[in-house]
């Protein structure tokens, strides 16, 4: 990375600090708007509890303080990179998230690579075969995939490929009792990853394919394409050297923006497939009212979104030399 690129990254990260703090405050306020707290959950699991015991629980978790005091304490901990303690799992939130972050990143990176890569390819094919059978087939399949609910697609894939055909496992990330190591373990994880990745990829693949198709058609109507044709370049050369590099920029923009939605979609997919990632952990912590854990997951998710958007801006400068990092 050049010195200019490094300065740009440092400046963007510095600007990201107030953004993340704003996200932290908003998440804290939204979570505390929901009724109930950790003491209510523990009392409900115990069957009953005296008012004195409930007061002790709230004092233990710091829930007896006014909301603005709780927010100040939480912000102080976040600035010290301390995400608190999970009462449900009896361990620190940071350690718990660290154990679940890897599976979520694996799922997200797989989905991003498949959806963006295949979406760009299919969108370009559809645009170059405008109003022909390839364009019609890709467009119809894209609309169907986009309109299909993610949870329903996951359940149908389980029924067909796991229950009926037995090709892939129903849930989990690996066979725990198998104690596999090395490449056999990698193959086992990849086999468990297939259905969750396909389920989440279908939705975003349809979105990127439609966007790429429109972008390619728009680029072929530009003046520089007419100039390239006048110079004697073939349509294939124009597409490869000029059009595709410019047409892919809106897709990258959408991919960066959709990272937050991708994290939200992973909650559904990880719950359906019992994938041990942050999404499944957020689902469990929500019902357990484990506020520290839930806020910690939101905080890490916000940091991931900011990091991905910085990476997308860097890709802009590589794909289009006219875009300068300042």
Mean pLDDT over 148-177 rounds to: 84
**What's the pLDDT at 61?**
65
C-alpha–C-alpha distance, residues 126 and 132, integer Å: 8
Confidence grade of residue 180 (pLDDT, cut at 50, 70, 90): confident
Residue 210 scores a pLDDT above 70:
yes
Mean pLDDT over 12-36 rounds to: 79
Mean pLDDT over 169-189 rounds to: 78
What is the C-alpha radius of gyration for the chain, rounded to an integer number of angstroms? 24
Structural domains of the chain in order of their starting residue, each with its CATH number: 3-93 (no CATH), 100-319 (1.10.3720.10)
Q: What are phi and psi of 90, to 5 degrees?
A: 55, 45
Residue 170 scores a pLDDT above 70:
yes
C-alpha–C-alpha distance, residues 67 and 304, integer Å: 27
Mean pLDDT over 179-192 rounds to: 81
Confidence grade of residue 321 (pLDDT, cut at 50, 70, 90): low
**What's the pLDDT at 252?**
82
Residue 45 scores a pLDDT above 60:
no
Q: Name the region of 301 (left: φ>0; alpha: ψ -120 to 50; beta: rest).
A: alpha
pTM above 0.85, yes or no: no
Q: Among 22-26, 40-44, 252-256, name the one with the lowest average pLDDT.
A: 40-44
Confidence grade of residue 142 (pLDDT, cut at 50, 70, 90): confident
Confidence grade of residue 38 (pLDDT, cut at 50, 70, 90): low
Residue 41 scores a pLDDT above 70:
no
Confidence grade of residue 46 (pLDDT, cut at 50, 70, 90): low
Residue 13 scores a pLDDT above 60:
yes
Within 13 Å of residue 188, how many CA atoms lie on the same side as its CB?
Answer: 15
Mean pLDDT over 200-204 rounds to: 87
The DSSP secondary structure of 208-271, one letter per residue, reads HHHHHHHHHHHHHTSHHHHHHHHTT--HHHHIIIIIHHHHHHHHHHHHHHTHHHHHHHHHHHHH
**What's the pLDDT at 270?**
84
What is the helix (H) or strand (E) element at residue 317, kind and residue range?
helix 291-319
**What's the pLDDT at 319?**
66
Residue 275 scores a pLDDT above 80:
yes
Residue 18 scores a pLDDT above 80:
yes
Residue-wise pLDDT tens digits, 222-259: 888 888 888 888 778 888 777 888 888 888 888 877 77
Q: Are 43 and 53 contacting, i.e. CB atoms less than 8 angstroms apart?
A: yes
**What's the pLDDT at 47?**
57
């Amino acid at each position: 990375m050049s010195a200019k690129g490094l300065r740009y990254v440092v400046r963007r990260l510095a600007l990201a600090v107030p953004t993340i703090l704003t996200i932290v405050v908003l998440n804290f306020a939204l979570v505390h708007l929901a009724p109930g707290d950790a003491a209510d959950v523990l009392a409900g699991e115990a069957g009953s509890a005296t008012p004195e015991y409930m007061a002790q629980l709230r004092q233990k978790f710091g829930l007896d303080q006014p909301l603005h005091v709780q927010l100040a304490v939480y912000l102080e901990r976040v600035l010290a990179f301390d995400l608190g303690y999970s009462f449900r799992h009896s361990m620190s939130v940071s350690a718990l998230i660290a154990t679940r972050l890897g599976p979520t990143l694996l799922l997200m990176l797989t989905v991003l690579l498949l959806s963006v890569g295949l979406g760009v390819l299919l969108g370009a094919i559809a645009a170059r075969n405008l109003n022909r059978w390839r364009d019609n087939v890709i467009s119809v399949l894209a609309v169907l995939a986009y309109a299909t609910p993610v949870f329903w697609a996951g359940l149908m894939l389980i029924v067909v490929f796991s229950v009926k055909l037995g090709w892939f496992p129903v849930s989990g990330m690996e066979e725990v009792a198998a104690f596999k190591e090395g490449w056999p373990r990698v193959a086992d994880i990849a086999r468990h990853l297939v259905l969750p990745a396909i389920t989440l990829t279908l939705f975003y693949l349809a979105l990127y394919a439609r966007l790429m198709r429109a972008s390619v058609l728009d680029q072929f109507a530009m003046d520089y394409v007419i100039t390239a044709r006048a110079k004697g370049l073939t349509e294939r050369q124009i597409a490869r050297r000029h059009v595709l590099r410019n047409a892919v920029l809106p897709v990258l923009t959408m991919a960066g923006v959709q990272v937050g939605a991708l994290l939200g979609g992973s909650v559904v997919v990880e719950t359906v497939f019992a994938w041990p990632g942050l999404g499944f952990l957020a689902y469990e912590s929500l019902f357990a009212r484990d506020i520290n854990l839930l806020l910690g997951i939101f905080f890490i998710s916000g940091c991931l979104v900011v990091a991905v958007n910085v990476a997308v801006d860097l890709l802009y400068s590589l794909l289009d030399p006219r875009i300068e990092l300042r």
